[in-house]
Amino acid sequence: MSVNIVHLKNLTQANEEKGDSKENVSGAEAASQRNRPVANLIDRKNESIYLDSPATTQCDKRVFDKMAPYFCDFYGNAHSKNHVYGWLSEEAVDVARKQIADLLGAEEKEIVFTSGATEANVIAIRGVVDLHRYSKKRSKIHVITSAIEHKSILNCCKQLEEEGVRVTYLPVNHDGLIQLDDLKSAISEDTVLVSIMAVNNELGVIQPIEEIGAVCEERGVAFHSDITQAVGKMPLNLRSFPIALASLSSHKIYGPKGIGALFVRKKPHVKLRSIFPGGGQERGIRGGTLAVQLCVGFGEACRLLSCEFTQDFARIAKLEKLLIDKILGNIPLAKLNGSREHKVPHISNFAFPFVEGESIIIGLKNVCVSTGSACTSSSLEPSHVLQAINADEYSIHSSIRIGLGRFTTQEEVEFAIDKLVVAVEKLREISPLWEMYQDGVDFSAVNWAQT
């Protein structure tokens, strides 16, 4: 259900008339607001616009309705082969697996259920590395990834480095794109895996995964891609892409949290060494009893995407144009981080030099956006993605990410833009750096250690 824009505007006006100054609250005060009683937080939620879909999406009510019977009515273990409860659950899982495969252009047997994309990423990377390390007894192993991958991949690679695996982190250009020549140069006789995400979760930038896959195929190297932010945001057909392994998650596509999948190609067959053997479920790749209701929800979310992708994409693309054009046209020095040409319309990352991104978020009050990935939002470290594209210090610390989704309305986008324009203007009024910029100060010549 969309937020009542008229109510939000009246609420905002009332707060401003009272002299509300929450735009300038400190970090401690912001934390205090987050720690208010649940009832108060629910009130605030009902008064807010959600523009953080790259972090998670609302579970579509049609998905929830499809899941509901599998909590209390059809509750059998899908691995129980001896009675009707198990058979019904197994059938539901099989249907869900096919719905996911159909969306991706894959076969049912190529879909392995996991708890989410993070687990799928780790299973893929460690599965390939451990296969070569333990089963094939290779002493020298090399993995290639990019500098802007999701933290679940970067942290996995760092752990592998501690175990003696050599890892190359490919740089990206100012648009956030890797260069194929860099990839070709990095591949060696010891390279066993290349892992490059399809769409970046902070910038929305689309990597040339088809070309990357072709390079890997030619050199005999397995190619894994985290396609979490690509599913439902761009056309995907894994049958035509030379991808050996691909990770995805349900809660990014209006499905339930707690479930994801790993695509493991069967032709040509991709082998993995299991890191979760368990009872041999999921082809022995990922053991454990399946949560049938989550599988059903994931499958239904994929079915809905298959049916509604074209109309959803067209509508969100129009909202993206409105968002980018109005922000860049109404806020001086505002800029879009990453490529505008090679990106999905659902994710946009903006820099507003001379103000802090966190301060902007506080100033927006009823508009829910973020300064970057939800998986690293608790860290005070600057975004590794913005650092990798060589954004300047003012952009790195002044950037926010805005997400558009299935339930985002034009009214909500226009309201958010108006709020953003006011918030940046107010913050710059009290920014010494903005004043220095207007006075013509050359920041490159300033010795900050002595000022």
Q: State yes or no: is 368 an active-site residue.
A: no
pLDDT at 24: 44
**Terminus-to-terminus CA distance in the chain, angstroms?**
51
Q: Residue 345, Cβ neighbours under 10 Å: how many? A: 20
**Residue 347: C-alpha distances to residues 53, 147, 439, 446 (Å):** 8, 19, 34, 35
Query: Six-digit token pair at 133?
Result: 């390390």
Q: Pick one of 3.60.20.10, 3.40.640.10, 3.30.70.1170, 2.130.10.10 as the CATH number of 61-304.
A: 3.40.640.10
pLDDT at 450: 52
Domain with CATH 3.40.640.10 in the chain: 61-304
Average of per-residue pLDDT across 364-387:
78
Q: Which CATH class is domain 5-59+306-433?
A: alpha beta
448, with CB counted inside 10 A (0-12, 13-18, 19+), is exposed
Q: Are 421 and 12 in contact (CB under 8 A)?
A: no
Model confidence over 246-282: pLDDT tens digits?
999 999 999 999 999 999 999 999 999 998 888 889 8
pLDDT at 11: 47
pLDDT at 378: 52
pTM of the model: 0.89
Residue of 42 and 331 predicted with greater confidence = 331
pLDDT of 16 strictly over 70: no
Model confidence over 392-448: pLDDT tens digits?
887 899 999 999 999 999 999 999 999 999 999 999 999 998 999 898 888 777 776
pLDDT at 20: 45
What pLDDT band is residue 208 in, cutting at 50, 70 and 90? very high
Average of per-residue pLDDT across 212-241:
96
Model confidence over 90-129: pLDDT tens digits?
999 999 999 999 999 999 999 999 999 999 999 999 999 9
Alpha-carbon span 293 to 119, nearest angstrom: 19
Average of per-residue pLDDT across 6-27:
45
- The identity of residue 117, as a single letter, is A
pLDDT at 9: 43
Alpha-carbon span 320 to 347, nearest angstrom: 8
305, with CB counted inside 10 A (0-12, 13-18, 19+), is buried
Model confidence over 22-45: pLDDT tens digits?
444 444 555 555 566 776 777 767
Model confidence over 150-194: pLDDT tens digits?
999 999 999 999 999 999 999 999 999 999 999 999 999 999 999
pLDDT at 218: 96
pLDDT at 33: 56
pLDDT at 36: 62
Beta strands 399-403 and 347-351 are antiparallel
Domain with CATH 3.90.1150.10 in the chain: 5-59+306-433
- Picking from 24, 50, 10, the residue whose alpha carbon sits closest to that of residue 366 is 50
Peptide bond into 277 cis (omega under 30): no
pLDDT of 316 strictly over 90: yes
pLDDT at 2: 41
Q: Are 227 and 236 in contact (CB under 8 A)?
A: yes
Cα-Cα-Cα-Cα dihedral sign, residues 177, 181, 186, 187: positive
pLDDT at 46: 74
